[in-house]
Amino acid sequence: MKKNIIIVLLIVLIGIASVLGILLYNKEHKIIENEKQLKELVKENVSIGEFKKKLEGAEIEIDEELDSTSSEIIGASEGKVYKIGDSTIRVYKYDLNQTGELTVSNLKLAQESGKVKIPSLDDLEIGVIYNKGLVLINDEEFENKDKIIEIFKGL
């Protein structure tokens, strides 16, 4: 009887180890797949600082600059909020070293349809403009909008 229990326990342990091995393999495989997709999606990238310099070079006065605390909800690595007059401009950077599903899916969505999803808000989609690893939130009207978008696209 003891022998049968030991054999059953060994079979169960082998089964558990096999399932864990498969899960770990799939997780690692997904990360590698996401890295490949990310490299295909982002051929060039620029910094948020470069965008700010271009704005200032075009004589667009930034009244206030804040770090965005919401970059992770769209899979971005960093974000800035610029107060320009009565308007708020939000720009986010996607990092090539972040291979999370949200990062990859939002980069793809931004490039293909000019939107990103916010899963924590029931997959709310907001309009964006994508350029070289950056997204400019484009869901509201703001002062000098056409000029700012032209500068952003010209990076």
How far is the C-alpha of 88 from the C-alpha of 155, rounded, in Å? 20
How far is the C-alpha of 109 from the C-alpha of 106, rounded, in Å? 5
Count of Cβ atoms closer than 10 Å to residue 76 Cβ: 24
Give SS3 for 60.
coil
How far is the C-alpha of 115 from the C-alpha of 126, rounded, in Å? 5
pLDDT lower than 70: segments of the chain: 1-2, 8, 10, 17-44, 99, 139
The number of CA neighbours under 13 Å toward the Cβ of 15 is 6
Sheet holding 78-84, edge to edge: 64-67, 78-84, 87-93, 134-137, 124-131, 115-118
pLDDT at 33: 63
pLDDT at 134: 92
How far is the C-alpha of 113 from the C-alpha of 153, rounded, in Å? 16
pLDDT at 1: 66
**Six-digit token string for 153:** 């696209």
**Six-digit token string for 20:** 């864990």
**H helix runs in the chain, sequence order:** 2-41, 48-57, 101-113, 145-153
pLDDT, tens digit, for every residue of 12-32?
Answer: 778 776 666 665 555 554 555
